[in-house]
Amino acid sequence: MPETYVNPAMWDEKFDSFSNKERYDFVMETLQQPLTPKFVEELDLGFCIGEVLDELNTNNLVENALELIQKFKYHQSELYKEEYPFFDYFLVEYYLFQKEPEKLEEALSRFKIDPEKGIEPLLSIMDMLIYYGYIDTLQNLIDQTYLVVRDSEEIIGGAQYDFAQIIFHNLVNKIYNQTNNGSHVDWNFINSEISKYGYDHKKMRDISDKHLMSPIQGGEEFEKNFRNNRIEIFESLMWSFCIYMYTEKNMNFICSANLWNGIITFLEGPKSKHNKKQPAEIYFDISKHSLEHYISGLYGGIMSLRQAKAIAILWGLTYFYDFLISKKLISNSIFNKAKRSIEYVKNAYIQTYQRSLWKYNFVHRWKIPDSISYEEFESEAKIFAESIKIQIPLNCEPENDFGEL
């Protein structure tokens, strides 16, 4: 075997001197060699493979990325188990887009076995499963990881509450279905399920009694409560939005509640310094600049794991303002201004992130918003779906670390 594959320093020197194209070929060739565990460890091969995948991902070279991951998984299976989160995250994105549930399950399997190692990408994956409507898959994922996440000393930040909230919203959805259909609600079952996640079933009864059977409507009473009892009115608004999205757009409460939380975080930002007793008309008045600022902050940089959430909230805003106008909670002028602002920011993202749009095609698995035509929706869906074909070849020239002199 050539000395390159037994001498980590020599391998690393070559890797650093190569162009991106040469690095890809070099790594693919390396993975086929009978490497010793000592060589793999001293080299930090997983990191180098991750660098190559990142470049392939940036250039949208999806087939090359899939080939790299499969070769890594096959030839260095033990190392792959240690490095899995970044690689399996890419596979999850791809299999969700391609509607390949069996391959999706395989890509999720290592997150189920070792969720602590991949908690940040796992939380983002849970968002994607929500947006694509894979509720059963999501439920199974939570069932197999919740206790490990809850009891972990390595995970900081209360990630278990994200898990619990998903279960909570799904159970409220089931209560709504049963109540709305005139069926008996099995409160003993509800209590046994929700208590596993630290919730009191009395809260669910309260939601059922107060909010699920009497969706909110605009008028003097709403405006008065909006000014004087913001917390309670927001709870009523959230459940009304969930019911609207479920009955009109067949969207699970989990997804609509997820969108609601992101939208309200946006609305609260620019309003936080203002009078809390402001009317709804002012509160829901948004500008394209404030929206652009919020979404760009949420979207983050190239390594961000919140990009799907940012796109979901941006596209979800259209449904939110359709809901507000349908309930007569805002005027036509505020609605039209919001619609223009949302479309402006949407178009900016479509133009800026042309190669990445396929990763967010869940927005076209949702039903068409009331304020968007079928033709417009389908035209945009085609742009998203075909974005996977927009590729940039890998650079064949080595990069100069010092730039041009």
More confident call, 336 vs 216 = 336
- pLDDT grade, residue 402 (50/70/90)? very low
If you average pLDDT over residues 284-304, what whole number do you get? 89
pLDDT score for 227: 87
55 in Cβ contact with 394 (< 8 Å): yes
Lowest mean pLDDT among 23-37, 196-210, 231-245: 196-210
Closest CA to 15 of 53, 43, 56, 54: 43
If you average pLDDT over residues 118-139, what whole number do you get? 97
105 has pLDDT over 60: yes
pLDDT score for 368: 98
* Whole-number Å distance between alpha carbons of 241 and 327: 10
**Residue whose tokens read 């309930």:** 327
What percentage of residues in the chain have a pLDDT greater than 70?
96
405 has pLDDT over 50: no
Q: DSSP class of residue 371?
A: T
* Whole-number Å distance between alpha carbons of 339 and 344: 9
Closest CA to 66 of 105, 19, 98: 98
Q: How far is CA 247 from the centre of its chain?
A: 23
More confident call, 156 vs 308 = 308
pLDDT score for 284: 95
**Residue whose tokens read 């979404």:** 295
270-279: which pairs have CB atoms within 8 A and are 24 or more residues apart?
A: 276/230, 277/227, 277/228, 278/227, 279/223, 279/226, 279/227
Helices and strands of the chain, counted as H and E runs: 20, 0
* Whole-number Å distance between alpha carbons of 166 and 164: 5
pLDDT score for 167: 96
If you average pLDDT over residues 59-75, what whole number do you get? 98
If you average pLDDT over residues 140-147, what whole number do you get? 96
- pLDDT grade, residue 276 (50/70/90)? low
pLDDT score for 278: 81
Domain locations along the chain = 214-395
- Produce one character per residue of 76-90: b if its CB has 16 or more CB atoms within 10 Å, e if not: beebbeebbbbbbbb
- pLDDT grade, residue 274 (50/70/90)? low
If you average pLDDT over residues 166-177, what whole number do you get? 95
* Whole-number Å distance between alpha carbons of 53 and 384: 22
If you average pLDDT over residues 377-390, what whole number do you get? 98
302 has pLDDT over 70: no
* Whole-number Å distance between alpha carbons of 129 and 144: 15
Closest CA to 298 of 264, 262, 256: 262
361 in Cβ contact with 393 (< 8 Å): no
- Produce one character per residue of 23-47: b if its CB has 16 or more CB atoms within 10 Å, e if not: bbebbbebbeeebeeebbeebebbe
- Produce one character per residue of 312-340: b if its CB has 16 or more CB atoms within 10 Å, e if not: bbbbbbbbbbbbbbebebbbeebbebbbe
Please give the biggest Cα pair distance in the chain.
82
Closest CA to 215 of 239, 234, 182: 239
If you average pLDDT over residues 68-91, what whole number do you get? 97
pLDDT score for 403: 42
C-alpha pair distances (Å), 9 with each of 3, 40, 42, 46? 10, 12, 9, 15
* Whole-number Å distance between alpha carbons of 84 and 79: 8
10 has pLDDT over 60: yes
If you average pLDDT over residues 187-216, what whole number do you get? 87
- The overall average pLDDT reported for the chain is 93
pLDDT score for 103: 98
* Whole-number Å distance between alpha carbons of 195 and 105: 28
pLDDT score for 270: 62
* Whole-number Å distance between alpha carbons of 215 and 211: 6
pLDDT score for 273: 47
If you average pLDDT over residues 35-51, what whole number do you get? 95
